[in-house]
Each structure stands twice: as C-alpha cells, then as structure tokens.
Amino acid sequence: MTWLLGICSLWLLPVMALAQKHFEVSLQNSVNVMPKQSYHRTGVKTDCLDGFMRLTRKLSTKLNVPSSSDGSQFEPLTPNLASKCGFSIDSDHWGNYKVFASLLNCFAGNMDDTDFRIDLRVRMRGVNKAEQDAFQVGETCTYDQWAPREILCDRNFMEVSVNRLPGEIKAFKPRSAKAQTFDQWSDSVSEAITSKYDIWRMVFFTPKQKAILLDDALKAGYAITTTSSRLVLRSGFDMPETYAENVTGVPMKIIKVTTYFKKQWSVTMLDTVAACPTGGLSFTEEMITWYYPQISPVMSSTDVTYLAMHMGIDGKKIDSAHMEARGYNLTTVEDQIVMTIPVGGPDGYYKSQAVNNLYYIIYVIEPMLELLWSEGGMDATRQRILFPIKTPLAPRPPQFVDLTDVEQRMFIVVLGTFLQDVELVNLTFSSGVLTVDEAIARGFNVQEQLFQNGSKAFRFQVPFSDPFVVRKQVDLRYTIYAITIIYGFMIQPESTPFSYVANLKVNLQDVVLPTLDGSCDDEKFYITISNGNLVDNYNIMLGQEDLTPSQIAEYGIKENTTHTVLAVPFLSSEIAFELMYPTSLRARVDVLVWDPVNKWSLSDFSLACNFPMTMTECFSNGSISALAVKVDAVPELVPHHLTLRDPSCTPIFSDDRFAYFSFDANSCGTIRRFYDGIMIYHNEITLPNWRPNHQEPKSEPFDSEYRVTISCFYTINDTQMITFSTKPRESDPMVEVGYGELQVILRLAFDGSYTGFYLEGDYPVVQFLARPLFFEVTLLQATDPQIELVLENCWATQQKNRSSTPKWDLVVNGCWNPADTHLTVFHPVLPGSVPFPSHVKRFEIQMFTFTQNNIASQDQLFVHCDAVLCDVNQIDAICNRQCPSSAPVHTAKKGQRDAETNRLQRTRLSSGKILLSSS
C-alpha cells in the first residue's frame, strides 16, 4: 500500500464520531438436530467447514429480525467459556465479526457424530439501547469424514478427539438414585467411584504425571466428554496442565492425558494428546514465513507418512490455483513444513496499532494448515491449525502538511495518512478540549479526506484571528501567530486511543507600535496614546510604576479601539518636579508604553510644564512661609530632614515630597540686609549633616546637594499717615484686609475621645461596619483667637479623586445632610481641651451611611472636606450658618449669603484610604 498524501482524493467529508457497536454471542443447548435455515436477511452468514462451523456478520447490514427467545435459555459466551467449549471470536476494523465453533462444542446437538446442530443468539449492541438488535441463528452441519484421531488448533483452544472407545463403553446416561447395582469395583477399590462417562480417573502429563478426578478436571476448566463413538478433550492454551516445548525451533503448547474407563471386570486406557504451535514465524517487509515441524509431539514414532497436506484461509481449504494467484507456497524443507505468504495480499487486511502513543500498522491474515498422516501404517490422524498471523509493528508516522495561507491569514493543515479504522474524536487546544462535532459547531473547518487506496487524512482550518490562536510579539516589528493542536484519535473496534501534537506558527511583520502625545493646563497633564494594532497588549507606566486599577479610575482613563487618553494632576505622586520658582513649579511626566511579557519598551514620552504655585509668601506682620519640594535632581532627599539656617527650625508639615516652613523674619537664622531703601530678609532651606538610609553623620561639614533660597523684600522709605483724634469715632475701626496661608489638616481619631490619631504611615486603615468614624479638622500654627474654622461641605468617595462617584454627602453648607438616615454628629470642642477651640471642628459619621441600592458598601472610602477660615465677627452666611435644630453647629448669628461668600479662603482636605470590613 502507498502511504502518501499526494494520491488523488475521492471526496471530503465532515468528520463524524461513529457509535462503536459491540458483538455479543449467547449459547443454547441444541438437543435435536433441526433443518438448515437461511439467515441472509440478518446480515449473518454461516458456513459448514471441515470439522467446524464459521459464522460471519457484517456490521453494515441492517438488522431486521427481532429475537423470539426470552433469553432465559441462553448463556453468554465469555472468553473462559469460549476456550472451554470450542468457540473463538475475531473481528476486523470494518466491524465484521467471525465466530468459529467446533462441531464437537459443548452446546452442539449431535446425531450419530454425523449431523451437528449449533444454535446461537447474536446481539449487536450500540451506545444507545435503541441501537441494540438481537436475533437467533442456527446451523446444521453434516460431517462424516472423521479420522480416528482429530486435532484442532484454534486461536484460544486446542481440541483432540479419538474414536477408539470400546463398544461396551457408552455415552453418559444419568443413573437412577434408587437403582441398586452390585459394584465390585466400588467394594474393592475405593477410588474407583462411578462418574460421568464411566471415566474412573485421568492422568495429565505436565510432562510429569498428575492424576486428577474427572469432576476436578471439569471444574478446572477442561472440556471432557464422550459422543456415541468418540472421546473429546479440549483445553485452553494457558491451563495449568499444559506445557511448552520447542520442536525444531517452533514453540508449541502440548496437552497430554491418559483417560481410564472402568468396565465391569477391567479398566481401559485411552491416550489423548494435542500439540499446537504458538510461534514459528519469520518476517520480512514483503513476506511471511511460517514453519511447522514434520514430526510433532502428537506422533509416537518417526515412522510417519503424510497422506495429505493442505493450505486454507479463514478455516476454508484453498486449491492450488488460488495459492498460485495469491503467491502462496506450501513445501517441506528438511524436518519442517514451510508456508510462505506475501504481505499485503487481499486475503488479509491492514490494521492500525498504537504503542506508546505512536502510530503503527500491521498486516493480519489467518492461514490454516491441514495435515493427514499415519504412523507405521496404522490409523490416520488429521490436524487442522487455524493460525492468525499479525506482522510486527511497522511505524507509519503521519505526515503533517502545512498549507497555511499567509495572505488570507489562515492556518490550513492536513494530517495523514491513516487506515480506515482510525477515527478523529476530539481536538485539544490550550483552552480546553472540543469534540469534533463541537469544533465544527464552533466554526472550525474539520474534514476527513479519503484516498483511492482506502487510506484517509484529516484537514483542519482556522483563521489567525480566532481566540484559540495565541498572538505573541517577538520584537518591535514581528508578531508570531501560534496554535497547538492535539489530535485525539481512536482505533476501532478496540477503542485504542492515541494522539498527535501539531504546533503551528507564523511570523509576520505586522506590528504598528503605539505613539504618544500630550498637553497641559494649569492643573493637569493630558496624555494621548495611539494604540497601533497592539490594543490591550501593553502596560502604561507613569514615572517608575505601572498604572494601578485605582489610578486608572482616578485619572479618568478613556479608551477605545484606537486611542487611550488619561488626565494626570501635576501633584500626583507619579509626577517628577524639576524646578521651583517663586510663583510656579516646573513638573514633568514620564510615560512609557511597554510589553510586560517580553520587557520591551514600545514607546516613551516626556512632557514638562510650569504650573502656578506660590512657593514663598511674605506677610506684613513679619512672618514668612516657604514650601520646599523634592526635585528629580536629588532623588534620595527626605523632606522631613530639611531645615532653615538654624537647624532647629524644621518643617511644620512634611511628607515624602513637600516640606512646609513658617517662621518670623527675625528668627531661624534669617539674615537682614538693606539696599537702596529696600530691606531684604534671606534664609535658606538646606539638607543638614545627614546621609540617607540612616547612615552615620559625617564628621566634616556636609556640602548639601539641596539648597533653596528664601527672600522677602520690604520698602523702608514709605511714610504712612495716621489720623488721631480724641473724639469718639462714628464707626468701628476697620482692619485692612491681608492675605496669607494657614495650614489646615483633616485626621482620623482612634475613638471619640480624640486623644489619639492615625498617622500618614498608618493608612490604609481598616474599620468595621459596626463602628463609627471620628474625624477632626484642625488649624495649625495659628494663635489668633479671632479666627474660626468652619466646615462648609464634607463627603465620602470610593476613589481618591474628590470628584469621583459614587459620592455620599456628610456635611452640606455647614450642616448635617438631611437626606441621610444616619445624621452626621458634631462634637463640641470644650475650652481648655485645646489652646484655641475655635480652630478645631470634630464630627462623627456612621459606617452604615455608605450604601448603594440599600446595601452597605464593603469596599474602601476617602473622606473629603472644604473648610473656610472666618473672622468671629464676620457676617458672611457660611460663617454664621445655623442648622435646622435647636442645637446650633457654629454660631447663633443669622446672616444672609452675599458677595463676601465668594471671597472666602477655602481649604481642600482629604483623608487617607479607609478599608471597610464586615468581620
């Protein structure tokens, strides 16, 4: 046979999973010999051959005849029962079954050893009960050419029968339990008990002698019976009393038994021996050679004359014309009989095999050798040997042909060739297993391609865009499209599985890299990313860190199939500060688009802008405030370590990026100079004699890498006229409005005592839903009792962004939120508990305030407030707000909102992350 994909195919069929049917045979005792019947309509054919019957059944034939038996009289044909009773079953990969039955089998009806009736019930069982068909079949065979000794070797048993029984010895007849018969043997020899077939005892040769009673031999699995003229012995090849012997290089299995029959005054012994080959084969790629010894163990002497020698196929003798047409040869060479059979002939067939998940084929044929001989001119012996032959495994690795169409962006592959007994049952991908039907339903193109020589292949087609295809960028220009397919096959009818792994890969130069652009306003950077064709296969890095999901939500990222846009506040932690000016801060955003799998930089971008920001303020009362910023040029700077000229003057507030100083002009080492009527105050913010990572300070002076100069200018030649009068004024004195910065902080207390607070490093803070939160808003570094801190609005969000949603209002226009079922509770600040009670506001919120769709939130939250600094005598509406209750929140004064409200100095405050927990 030719195993190439180049052979012209006949047709293409979608691959379908076929239900494998099973063949069952049940047996019935056939007492009476019945006439022959025809069963062609059931698809079953019976043939009477020499010494046995053959039943064949083709799977493709439709079953039409129901069973007329209720099944109670039939016994299933199991492997043990088959070898004991003279049956064998074989099948090919097309689903055709053959049953061989010895005419002397246990269930045959026997009429004078001439006519034999065999009744079987056959069931073809499919996967579903509806596919089961059962019918009864019977055959009557006539055979009267018995040799004195007949030996039959089948694939699973060996049988010998002899007709040398004395006339006095009859076939077994049941005896009446009431019969009173004088038995001299039973009286004088205790072992000589009466048994079936008048058999007293049996001696097996293993080759040593081993005596066994008949009942014990039958229980062990041997078949021993008598007919009207013959003794029949049958044994499986692996029974304990069989033994192996090598005869002229041919391994054989032998059963040898002497049977003792009890007569009234004597004992008769009959020797029965059968020898069957289990080997003797040699193979080439083109030829099978079968050797059989001319002198076998069943012969008692070497004076042997062969009377006939025939070859057969499937149990049927063939003539010389058939042998010549098929290229068969049967000869004798020295002490052996030699049969040669060409490999691949039409009397046999090829069969698939799978070993260690590799695909092989074998050639299967069942020749028969029939010999007739006599020893010393005495009675003849006939031996028939049914000898199924399977050639050694011949590797046939399937060819994998890649027909991928790059222009159509389509994987197309063909895998083959295989024999017809191979079925494709499933396909395994990285994401799971699909049956063939599921793969076709999903859209894969799976076809079975048939060839003229009976072989077949399987065609598979999938586009590059399919989700099962893995897309991987190998560099900045090329993309690999890859898919791994594991073909799952099944060899029928044995249902032997094996698989084949196919790896498909295409490398295309089709990468369009992302590009970046950006702009600024007074508060934010705006970054636009053009995705190219990578879509989501990249990460966005701001500064030194990838964007987190919370940052993505905070920066309001908008994306579609082509672009991604994000807005980043210039005070975000990912922004680098480059330079400080008196009224602005130069900040830079570094954006990197990169592949996290391959660690490739796909595109980078930097944008620096100046943002309005007051860095130094000089107040008319002689106080100065300054803001120091950690710049990119000093990456190891810790703002908390910064000081003024006087090292004892440290920041009144600092974090990991800012340090805020507030001091009098005549303190902290400030230097005063005069220039042409201008008085200048100078100070510096520097890094003292410290090293990062808690290293020991240097003994010599430390030359700071960080230095910020603070300067305030005052005019000294200006004259102010002050009017003084001893008369009472008609109006209250007015204070000239001044501007300055005071620091207000929002912090979370441990409990309602407000004696302990969470620090910046304690966040995120975990709070249970059953507990309230206690917040305090405090004005720092202020000593003026005429200043009052007022809460204008407070709210909570799930994101750090103050304007994100959802949003829960806590304080509205200075009062609790009337729409909230859990009102915010304001706690008074008692005199003496803090230096300036008007500089502190305290409030309590319930955790059950934060609900969505009446379900308490169990996520995270941030609390935000807008605070206003008021003069205690100010008449602005928010500074004198009175809430709808008998208990005022701020003051009892009532005023109207006017234009002054818009001129108030508001402070924006936010807490750290608070995690909500239910347990």
> How many separate helices (H) and strands (E) can be counted in the chain?
6, 69
pLDDT at 643: 94
In the numeric block, the tokens 């070797």 are attached to 153
What is the three-class DSSP state of 206? Answer: coil
pLDDT at 784: 79
Domain boundaries, the chain: 44-144, 146-167+194-278, 280-397, 398-508, 515-612, 616-689+707-715, 743-879+904-917
pLDDT at 543: 85
- What span, in angstroms and rounded, lies between the C-alpha atoms of 312 and 330? 11
What is the three-class DSSP state of 745? Answer: strand
Lookup: tokens for 343: 């490999």
- What span, in angstroms and rounded, lies between the C-alpha atoms of 566 and 79? 76
> In CATH, what is the architecture of 398-508?
Sandwich (2.60)
Q: Collect contacts of 44-48 with beta carbons under 8 A, ≥24 apart.
A: 44/122, 44/135, 44/137, 46/137, 46/139, 47/316, 48/139, 48/141, 48/142, 48/143
End-to-end Cα distance, the chain: 74
Tell me which fold the domain 280-397 belongs to. Answer: Immunoglobulin-like (2.60.40)
E strands in 29-86:
44-49, 52-57, 75-76
Lookup: tokens for 459: 């065609």
Answer yes or no: same fold for 398-508 and 616-689+707-715.
yes
Task: Determine how β-strand 563-569 pairs with β-strand 576-580.
Answer: unpaired
- DSSP assigned state of 175: P
What is the three-class DSSP state of 895? Answer: coil
Using an 8 Å Cβ cutoff, are 243 and 270 in contact? no
- What span, in angstroms and rounded, lies between the C-alpha atoms of 579 and 571? 14
Identity at 129, one-letter amino acid code: K
Using an 8 Å Cβ cutoff, are 415 and 458 in contact? yes
CATH class in words for 616-689+707-715: mainly beta
Using an 8 Å Cβ cutoff, are 23 and 99 in contact? no
461 closest CA partner among 431, 439, 489: 439
Structure confidence by residue, pLDDT tens digits, 96-141: 788 899 999 988 888 988 999 988 887 765 444 444 567 788 889 9
Torsion of CA 731, 737, 743, 748, to 10 degrees: 40
Tell me which fold the domain 515-612 belongs to. Answer: Immunoglobulin-like (2.60.40)
Lookup: tokens for 670: 């400030």
Q: Which residues of 330-355 are buried (b: 16+ CB within 10 A; e: fewer)?
A: beeeeebbbbebbbebeebbbbbbbe
- What span, in angstroms and rounded, lies between the C-alpha atoms of 125 and 26? 13
Chunk the chain into consecutive blocks of 10 residues (it has 919) and report each block's average pLDDT, rounded to whole numbers: 32 35 53 42 78 74 34 72 90 77 90 89 58 74 92 95 63 39 41 58 90 90 89 93 94 93 76 94 96 93 91 94 96 94 93 94 95 89 95 95 92 94 94 92 92 92 92 79 95 91 89 86 90 74 85 80 87 90 91 83 90 88 90 89 93 91 91 83 83 48 70 72 54 45 85 90 83 91 83 90 87 83 85 89 80 62 89 71 53 36 66 78
- What span, in angstroms and rounded, lies between the C-alpha atoms of 620 and 637? 32
- What span, in angstroms and rounded, lies between the C-alpha atoms of 910 and 569? 15
H or E element, residue 121: strand 115-125
Lookup: tokens for 484: 């791994």
Structure confidence by residue, pLDDT tens digits, 291-332: 999 999 999 888 899 999 999 999 999 999 999 999 999 999
Task: Determine how β-strand 576-580 pairs with β-strand 584-595.
Answer: antiparallel
What is the three-class DSSP state of 814? Answer: coil
CATH of segment(s) 44-144: 2.60.40
E strands in 197-348:
199-205, 209-212, 223-226, 231-236, 243-247, 250-262, 267-277, 281-283, 287-293, 304-313, 316-317, 329-333, 336-342
Degrees to nearest 5, angle at CA 438 with 434 and 441: 140
CATH of segment(s) 146-167+194-278: 2.60.40
Residue 760 phi, psi (nearest 5): -60, -40
The set of residues, in sequence order, having a beta carbon less than 8 Å from that of 229 and lying 6+ positions away, is 113, 163, 165
**What is the chain's length?**
919
pTM exceeding the 0.85 threshold for the entire prediction? no
pLDDT at 715: 79
DSSP string for residues in 412-477: EEEEEEE-TTEEEEEEEETTEEEEHHHHHHHT-EEEEEEETTS-EEEEEEEETTSTTSEEEE-SSS
Lookup: tokens for 107: 């269930």
The set of residues, in sequence order, having a beta carbon less than 8 Å from that of 245 and lying 6+ positions away, is 251, 252, 254, 275, 297
Cis peptide upstream of residue 242 (ω within 30 degrees of 0): no
pLDDT at 435: 94
pLDDT at 474: 74
- What span, in angstroms and rounded, lies between the C-alpha atoms of 92 and 494? 10
CA 719 to chain centre: 88
H or E element, residue 372: strand 367-375
pLDDT at 97: 81
What is the three-class DSSP state of 188? Answer: helix
The set of residues, in sequence order, having a beta carbon less than 8 Å from that of 51 and lying 6+ positions away, is 102, 103, 143, 150, 152, 382, 384
- What span, in angstroms and rounded, lies between the C-alpha atoms of 313 and 721? 139
Using an 8 Å Cβ cutoff, are 672 and 681 in contact? yes
Q: CATH number for the 743-879+904-917 domain, one of 3.40.50.510, 3.40.109.10, 2.60.40.4100, 3.30.420.10?
A: 2.60.40.4100
794 closest CA partner among 773, 815, 774, 822: 815
